[in-house]
Structure formats: C-alpha cells, structure tokens
A and B are shown apart, each in its own frame.
Chain A
Amino acid sequence: MTLASLTRPWEAMSYGFLDASAKRELRRKMLKAIAVPGCQMPYASREVPMARGWGTGGLQVTLTLLKPSSVVKVIDQGADDSVNAASIRSFLAKVSGARETWDTLAATLIQSRHRIPEERLRADQVLVLQVPNPEPLRPVEPNMSHARQMHADADYGRLWLILYEEIVRAGRIMQGAAYPALVNGRHVMTPSPIPRWDVPKLHMARHLTFLSAGREKRLFAVPPFTRVEPLVFSDLPYRVEDHAGLTCHRSGMKSFFMNEIPQADGGSAHELSDSHLGIKAIRQAEGGRAEIGPTWYRDGRMR
C-alpha cells in the first residue's frame, strides 16, 4: 500500500469564491433573516474582488446561494448589459460554472441593483437586492444603537413624521426610491433604492428576496408570502410612479416602469427600464421566438 493509494489527486473542493466558513456564516445569517422577516442581521462582510459600495453585499449573498447548476441574471437599474452587471455576472459564472442569462424566466438567481424585474418571479427563483443603506431609521436617528432599540420597540412614529412633513411642505410624499415598508407587520425595512413601482412586488410574493449591504455589513430578507406594506397614512393611499400611461419608444410596450430619455427638442422619450423585457418584446414583434412571462403589472395596475 502506498500513500498515494490512500489519497486522491487535487481537485477544487469549493466554488463560489468565498471559503466554506464565510459561506457558512452567511447561510446562518440568511436563515436568521428569513426567520425574522425584515429584521437586519449583522454579518462579517468579506473581501470580494470589488470595491465596497458596488454591490459587495449582494454579491456575497449571491455567491453563497450559487451552485454550478444555477442560472444567474444580474441587472443594474433594470439593464443586463451595463458594465457593472456584466462583470458581476461573468464573475459569478467564472467562480461557479453557473450559466449566465438575461432572461428573467430562465434565471434561478437574480442579483439586482435598484429594480425588480417586471416579469413575476416564481417560487423557485431567488432575488438578491444590493442595498447601500440598510437602516430606514437613519434619517431620524443617526445613533445606530438607538435605532436598533427603536426597531426592538417597533417605534416607527418618526418615519410617519417624515411623510407628514413632506405632505405639509410639498403637498405630497416626496420619498421616491427606497420607500420604507413594514414587513410581516413587525419590522420596517428599506427595500433598497427600488422605485415605489417595485415595492408592491415584494408583498406576498412567491419568491424569496434577500437584501444585503456589504459596506454596512447587514442583510435582511423577505420570505415568500410575507406581507410588505409601504408606510402610508390611512387616508392617503400609497401611490406608485405615474408610468401607466407611458409607452416604450423602442419596443412599444406600455404601462411599465420607464426610463426617461431627454430629447434634443426638449421633450422626452421613454424606454422600458427592464431592458430584457423590451428586447423580448422587440423579438416577438419581429416574428422571432421570445417568451414573455406573466407580469406583476397589467395595464399599469398591480394585479
């Protein structure tokens, strides 16, 4: 018997860039986050080959969830082809062997900055949102330990006070992106800087959402079929951006969240923010094969 017969030749025993202990810690924190929806869990944010503030929090969660059989989609403000989205996506594929996709329907794991795709996510998909500032109470309580105490007490009156002040001063609620929402009737979270349009997509969704902030070292989750209620006054209903009447000038799609493109004549054109949805629509229009899944919004209304 030789020593060689007792050993095996070298092979990669890990994937997904992070070492096993880092992933284990993240898994534990992610499970905790699922157990207490909307509650921020601290974690030891590791070094990843990307600067803090560029999605390292989302990346670490994605890397932990990643398997060689995963199909990953990465979007930045709705676009799959931005430099940041493309490089994160190719990095993910490189460190795990996972397949890359732009198609929301094909993806099993979606990492996103600032948007939730327009096509309805399924129970077998996981959404990871990059979060720059995970603390919804920061504007009212700069002291983080006080803020945590306020979360513990569900003491959120001051957040409504912000809304009150906005209505008093501006006549309407000014908060656009990162509109705070009460999760499971208990914790207020910031849904990351997604537009108001996207917040209702988290309410009683079929899919699991993780929100992770790498610089602030906190992650939280919205499990499937969990209530996510934007903070509103009982007599002033929540309103999403008024995009129901807009048409994408490239794909002809109507009544989805649009990017505004200023035109030389001083007016503006609009195009779908969810760029791959637009691409699929154009393909369909040209007679090609492209499947568009059911969308959250129909005719500009949440359904």
Chain B
Amino acid sequence: MTPALRAPELMTTPAMLTMTAVSRRYGNVVALEEVSARAYPGEVLGIVGESGSGKSTLLRMMNLEETPDAGDYRLSLPDQPGNLFDLDRFARRMLCATRIGIVYQNPHLGLLMRNTSSGNVAERLLIAGERSFAALRSRARDALDASEFPLARMDARPVELSGGMQQRVQLAKAIALEPVLLLLDEPTTGLDVSVQALVLDTLKRLQRDRAITMVIVSHDLGVIRTMADRVMVMRGGRVVEEGLADQIFQDPQHEYTQQLVHAKL
C-alpha cells in the first residue's frame, strides 16, 4: 500500500500528554511495542482495539499504575517537567490523585463501595488536603452535580446504586480536583444501551463545558465515534493507525482498521 502523504506532526499546538516509544513485555508476550501517543488540550483521544491490543495497558501507564520497560511520558505541567515514569511511588500517587482522573469499567476498582457516594468524592479532596467539612460537602456536591448525579442520593452507598449511577460517582470523583487529564477505561461497557448514551452525553457535556483533555479506551466503535476527536487504532501492542475520528471511520487506511470499521457499519 502507498503510504498516505502526511507530514509528521506539524506542531502548532503543544500536546497536553506526550508518550514516546513506550514498550512493555510480560515474559515473551509483547504488551506494547514502541507506542507513542499524544493528546492535545481539550481534545478527546479515542483508543480502540480488541482485547489484548494493549489499549488498557497503555491507559494504565497513563495513570502511572504501571511502568514500561522503556519509554517516556510527559504531561504539560509546569511543576512536573520530566519523564513521569521516573517519579517514585509517592510522587506518582500524588500526581495521579490530584492531576489525573480515571473512570474504570469496573466500579469496584474506582470506588469505596461501603462509603457514601459523596464520601467517595470527598476522599479525593481529602488527599489534596481539604480539611473543611463544609467545603468537602459543597465541593463533593458540585462534582456530583456536574456528573449529573441526582443529589438527593449523594449519601447513598455505591452498592445501592445502579451501574450508570456508579459510573457517575466515579466520574465525579475523577473531576473533583479539576484534573488536567481524564482517563476513561471502557466507561460504559456493561451498561444498558440507553444508560450508556446518557453517560456518554454527560461526558460530552463535561468536555464541552470544561475543555478537559480526555483519553477514552473502548472496544466499542460506537462509543469512540460518539466521543473522540482523534482516534488511535491498536492491535497486538502497536498503533496500527491514527487519525481524525471522521477520517478513521470514513476513510480507514490500514487493512485492520478497514475490517474493524466495516464489520461495525
């Protein structure tokens, strides 16, 4: 195939997130091979691929839960100019808790199920040093409200809530500290289609109102299509193709992407 005529990135906008040549092996299994990714301020980067493509591993690395064998990861933060993979455990924890928000597919990973919903949000604020009860209360309320969570239930425990509501609590927790980066790991997988649409709509709204940089990982092309400005297609730990969302869906270049898109449409 003739490679498409595209310049390497002609930089007019500095990236919010820059990952360069990240590789990770588990024994003989290649999880990620020389993966580079960028996310620009205020955009939604979609990462699509089947299970085992490395997309979730990549997201875990963006959340500094995992360290690659090689690679460089930077966020455009004045106080953290270096490679974030070089940070120690404590610095990573603080960075993730205060600057990066994440919503997991499985709410058990992101929530304290036996605490109240507002308490889950408050926990994030407490890590950042908020010590006023009134402020915790009102900030938790604001974050839940922004996630379109019914405030009458803010003191219900997540175990008492539906899946869609649990994701909203996760989202409130993730945005409570106004992160520079919001990571979404299959945030609507497993939800009813109608609930899924509502959650995606909330995400869209948040993205529009707050211009948060988001990275969303999904195997669901519909979700990616609804959410993403740009799309990265992954397979076998590599980036197969990358482009504007409409281009990926209307004019996919790589054979694998074409299969993926045509299988869906």
Contact = CB atoms under 8 A, between A and B. Distances in A.
Interface of A: 152-153, 155, 157-158, 160-161, 164-165, 167-169, 233-236
Interface string B133-151: 1111000000000000000
Given A153-B93, A169-B155, A161 B132 contact: no
Given A233-B133, A235-B133, A168 B123 contact: no
A102 to B, nearest CB: 42
A217 B127 CA distance: 30
A165 B119 CA distance: 6
Give the 8 A-B residue pairs with the shortest CB-CB distance, closest first: A157-B126, A233-B133, A157-B127, A234-B131, A234-B132, A235-B132, A160-B126, A161-B123
Contacts of B258: none
B26 interface: no
B126 A161 contact: yes
Contact of A164 (B90, B93, B122): B122
B-side interface size class: 10 to 19
B123 A157 contact: yes
B189 interface: no
Contacts of A235: 132-135
A161 B115 CA distance: 9
Contacts of B116: 165, 168-169
Interface string B84-102: 0000001001000000000
B133 A236 contact: yes
Contact of B131 (A155, A165, A169, A233): A233
Interface in B110-132: 112, 115-116, 118-119, 122-123, 126-127, 131-132
A174 to B, nearest CB: 14
Nearest to B140: A164
A236 B137 CA distance: 13
A165 B112 CA distance: 12
A168 B155 contact: yes
Nearest to A232: B131
B127 A155 contact: yes
Nearest to B118: A168
Contacts of B127: 155, 157
Nearest to A160: B126
B145 to A, nearest CB: 17
A233 B122 contact: no
Nearest to B129: A157
A158 to B, nearest CB: 7
6 contacts: A153-B93, A157-B126, A158-B126, A160-B131, A168-B119, A233-B133
Nearest to A157: B126
B82 to A, nearest CB: 20
Given A153-B93, A168-B118, A158 B123 contact: yes
A160 to B, nearest CB: 5
Contacts of A164: 119, 122, 126, 133, 136
Contacts of B122: 161, 164
A161 B126 CA distance: 8
Contact of A161 (B119, B134, B135, B155): B119
B90 A153 contact: yes
A168 B154 CA distance: 10
B15 to A, nearest CB: 30
Contacts of B134: 235
B159 to A, nearest CB: 14
Contacts of A155: 93, 127
A235 B131 CA distance: 8
A39 B105 CA distance: 38
B7 to A, nearest CB: 45
Contacts of A167: 133
A169 B132 CA distance: 17
Contacts of B132: 233-235
B174 to A, nearest CB: 16
Contacts of A152: 90
A167 B116 CA distance: 11
Contacts of B112: 161
